């Protein structure tokens, strides 16, 4: 930031972007600038009424909370706080922004997308409390990805308003409770990752037929496998391994899933016959279960199995 000198035009400073016509300051890229400490909510830094683009990635703010002052940027379209060691709860003031195109708060992935149409929201590591309800106001969002956080409540029902959402990743967030049936309203959702949480119940499990990938491994789900899974005709990948699922597997449950390529039932307490599999199946994982019988003849295309412990009754 050597170019930041008094008595010089700030539009010539490194990391500063100004409107070519009005001269208004519209962008700040302060990434990799060795910034540290905290950003007070009443700081002069928030008195930039025309700011549209703010990048504070790759700095060190020592686990300080995200200031509600960011909500004062009424024209902000892009905010990147990646790898900057912010923590705590996401302030609700950010929900007042109506012009978002990208909001990145990730700590482990340097990849973020800026597009005038697609909106991507990512929160990685150290965020606590509840998943923000105001996410339901971001009606253009295509992708939501949270990881390695400590959320204390279940998935908010406000997500049901995100009609254009096609990717929902909530892996490793300490989310408990049951899978809520409002997710059936997400008619464009194709991928849903909810592995490595504390979920205990499928609830009234329903999903839109648009779903192609469903990962629910390493939770505390108990009971039988929901029969409604057999209605997901576009499903190609299903992982419900490492849960507490019990009961007899319906032998015909999966044969209607004509596009299913991977089915992981590992490490549950299931019993009964090995289910009939569709001809599309490539990976069938059932070790540490109590399924018996032979692999159905239609499974000849399978290239990888993790268990050889089949027992004929």
Query: What are the residue boundaries of the structural domains of the chain, listed by start?
Result: 56-62+81-92+100-305
Chain centroid to CA 279? 31
Chain centroid to CA 205? 19
**Cα(79)–Cα(1) distance, integer angstroms:** 20
- pLDDT score of 136: 80
Q: Residue 292 has which token pair?
A: 């018996």
- Give the residue from 295, 255, 258 showing the smallest Cα distance to 273: 295
Q: What is the pTM of this model?
A: 0.69
Query: Which whole-number Å values give the CA distances from 277 to 55, 209, 234, 294, 299, in the listed order?
Result: 49, 19, 15, 12, 6
Query: For all residues of the chain together, what is the average pLDDT?
Result: 81
- pLDDT score of 256: 93
- pLDDT tens digits, residue range 98-127? 555 556 654 333 333 333 344 677 776 667
DSSP label at residue 60: B
Percent of the chain predicted with pLDDT > 70? 81
Task: Output Rg (C-alpha) for the chain, integer angstroms.
Answer: 24
- Give the residue from 285, 288, 292, 297 showing the smallest Cα distance to 310: 292
**Cα(261)–Cα(45) distance, integer angstroms:** 52
DSSP-assigned beta bridge partners for residue 305: 284
Q: Residue 263 has which token pair?
A: 């089915």
Residue with tokens 């990434």: 31
pLDDT tens for each residue of the chain, 313 residues long: 788 998 899 999 999 999 999 999 999 999 999 888 877 766 645 678 899 999 988 888 887 787 877 877 888 888 888 778 777 666 766 655 555 555 665 433 333 333 334 467 777 666 777 787 777 877 778 888 888 888 877 788 888 889 999 999 999 999 988 887 777 889 999 999 999 999 999 887 778 899 999 999 999 999 999 999 999 999 999 999 999 999 999 999 999 999 999 999 999 999 999 899 999 999 999 887 888 877 665 554 554 454 444 333 3
Q: Is 182 helix (H, G, I), strand (E, B) or coil?
A: helix
Q: Residue 40 has which token pair?
A: 């007070």
- pLDDT score of 179: 83
Q: Is 78 helix (H, G, I), strand (E, B) or coil?
A: strand
Residues 90, 66: contact at Cβ < 8 Å? yes
What would be the CATH architecture of the domain defined by 56-62+81-92+100-305? Alpha-Beta Horseshoe (3.80)
- pLDDT score of 303: 47
- pLDDT score of 297: 56
**Cα(302)–Cα(236) distance, integer angstroms:** 14
- pLDDT score of 221: 96
- pLDDT score of 114: 37
3-state helix, strand, coil in the chain (%, to 5): 10, 25, 60
How many residues in the chain?
313
- pLDDT score of 313: 38
Element at 214 (helix H, strand E): strand 213-215
- pLDDT score of 45: 59
- pLDDT score of 265: 94
160-227-223 Cα angle (round to 5): 90
- Give the residue from 263, 257, 294, 251 showing the smallest Cα distance to 279: 257
**Cα(260)–Cα(89) distance, integer angstroms:** 38
């Amino acid at each position: 930031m050597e170019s930041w000198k008094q008595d010089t035009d700030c539009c010539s400073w490194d990391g500063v972007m100004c409107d070519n016509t009005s001269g208004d300051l519209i962008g700040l890229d302060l990434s990799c600038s060795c910034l540290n400490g905290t950003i007070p909510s009443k700081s002069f830094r928030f008195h930039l009424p025309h700011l549209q683009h703010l990048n504070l990635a790759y700095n060190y703010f020592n686990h300080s909370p995200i200031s509600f002052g960011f909500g004062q940027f009424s024209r902000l379209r892009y905010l990147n706080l990646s790898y900057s060691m912010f923590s705590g709860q996401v302030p609700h003031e950010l929900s007042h922004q109506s012009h978002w195109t990208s909001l990145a708060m990730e700590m482990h992935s340097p990849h973020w997308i800026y597009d005038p149409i697609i909106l991507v929201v990512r929160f990685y590591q150290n965020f606590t409390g509840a998943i923000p309800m105001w996410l339901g106001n971001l009606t253009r969002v295509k992708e939501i990805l949270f990881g390695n956080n400590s959320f204390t409540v279940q998935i908010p029902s406000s997500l049901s308003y995100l009609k254009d959402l096609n990717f929902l990743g909530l892996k490793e967030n300490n989310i408990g409770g049951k899978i809520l049936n409002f997710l059936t309203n997400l008619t464009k959702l194709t991928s849903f990752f909810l592995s490595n949480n504390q979920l205990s119940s499928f609830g009234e499990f329903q999903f839109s037929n648009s779903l192609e990938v469903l990962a629910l491994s390493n939770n505390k789900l108990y009971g039988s496998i929901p029969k409604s899974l057999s209605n997901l005709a576009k499903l190609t990948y299903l992982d419900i391994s490492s849960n507490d699922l019990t009961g007899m597997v319906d032998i015909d449950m999966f044969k209607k899933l004509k596009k299913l390529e991977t089915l992981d039932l590992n490490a549950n307490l299931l019993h009964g016959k090995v289910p009939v599999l569709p001809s599309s199946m490539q990976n069938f994982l059932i070790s540490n279960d109590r399924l018996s019988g032979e692999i159905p003849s239609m499974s000849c295309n399978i290239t990888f199995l993790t268990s050889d412990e089949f027992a004929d009754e």
